[in-house]
Amino acid sequence: MSENSQFRFGAATGVGSMPGGDAREAAKTVTGTFEDFPFLPELPARGPGADMIGRTAGLLVELYARVEPSGWRLGDRPGRDTKRARSWLGEDLDALEECTQEYQGPLKVQAVGPWTLAANLEMRNGEAALSDAGAGRDLAASLAEGLRLHLAEVRRRIPGAQVVLQLDEPSLTAVLRGQVKSASGYRTHRAVDRQLVEQTLRDLVGVNAGGPVVVHSCAPDVPFALLRRAGAAAVSFDFSLLTERDDEVIGEAVEGGTRLFTGVVPSAEGPLSDPAGSVMGVRTLWRRLGLSPGLLAEAVTVTPACGLAGASPGYARTALAHCARAARSLADNPE
């Protein structure tokens, strides 16, 4: 953790997904809005292979997946779905590289984490990889290798970037609680041992060669303490889902040097409050925890509550710009 506590995160960024299918337009929006913390946009509207699971499946090494009516399923060889996923990722990297010439600073890339991947990727028998410990191990190892190669490619294309890896784990709480449904839908897969979950995540955190890893989940009950123990430098979450029973773990996280990516700007279309109003809850939380207001800018990155794939392009641009303004409000008036 200590090596990451010196890392300079930006004050605001996005979660990952954006509406539309134009990689260049998305990269321009992101780099223009977040001059000190851009991210690699994901555009799931393009179809299978640009979605969260398919995009990450395209990164796997010596494991391949294809689209079935029920979802993504592991297969024997790379087919057109794998090729399409890799092609779109290449297009996204080309666009980002073009928009980040001479850029120096933090840059975030996202991939699905090992447990959400295992819960959503089917084996040949149609059951989730989560149901087979050996398949889960193979998947995590393949993902680790694929991410190493992907991160090296990002660093080669944007040499001034300090690469932040975000692991998307929206299914993590369901995995820990045994709430992931079987293929039939009539039963659930048994809960995975917390120590195994933590160790697997720790192995994945280690792939970002000295760079920080943020774990994102916009599901309720994010396991903050487990993620900290696994070595996450930051946790990204939907701020509206916090309850006062999360206070203690949040306070410990901040005091332990873990950064909070607070999702305070709604991902769903609707009217936005003023920027100061968007971060009022963060200030209230700080007061409740008895934390120093001066810590706010050091401990918080402002983001949308979740990805923006479901929003209109206009709202997505407005929401991202609103995050940047809300972060400025937090820095200027921490009280």
Measured between alpha carbons, how far apart are the two ends of the chain, in Å? 28
Residue with tokens 């200027």: 332
Mean pLDDT of the chain: 94
Distance (Å, whole) CA 233 – CA 140 = 20
Report the SS3 class of residue 153: helix
pLDDT tens track for 25-69: 999 999 999 999 999 999 999 999 999 999 999 999 999 999 999
Number of domains the chain is built from? 1
pLDDT tens track for 284-327: 999 999 999 988 988 999 999 999 999 999 999 999 999 999 99
Report the SS3 class of residue 332: helix
Task: Tell me the pLDDT band of 3, cut-offs 50, 70 and 90.
Answer: very low
Quick one: pLDDT at residue 6? 66
- For 105, the domain range is 23-332
On whether residue 270 sits in a domain, the answer given is: yes
Give me the DSSP letters along 158-218.
STTEEEEEEEE-TTHHHHHHT--B-TTSSSBPPPPPHHHHHHHHHHHHTTSTTS-EEEEE-
On whether residue 14 sits in a domain, the answer given is: no
102 CB burial (10 A radius; 0-12, 13-18, 19+): exposed
On whether residue 12 sits in a domain, the answer given is: no
CATH number at residue 235: 3.20.20.210
Quick one: pLDDT at residue 2? 40
On whether residue 13 sits in a domain, the answer given is: no
On whether residue 8 sits in a domain, the answer given is: no
On whether residue 16 sits in a domain, the answer given is: no
CA gyration radius, the chain: 19
3-state helix, strand, coil in the chain (%, to 5): 45, 15, 35
Distance (Å, whole) CA 23 – CA 8 = 27
On whether residue 2 sits in a domain, the answer given is: no
On whether residue 75 sits in a domain, the answer given is: yes
Residue 180 has pLDDT above 50, yes or no: yes
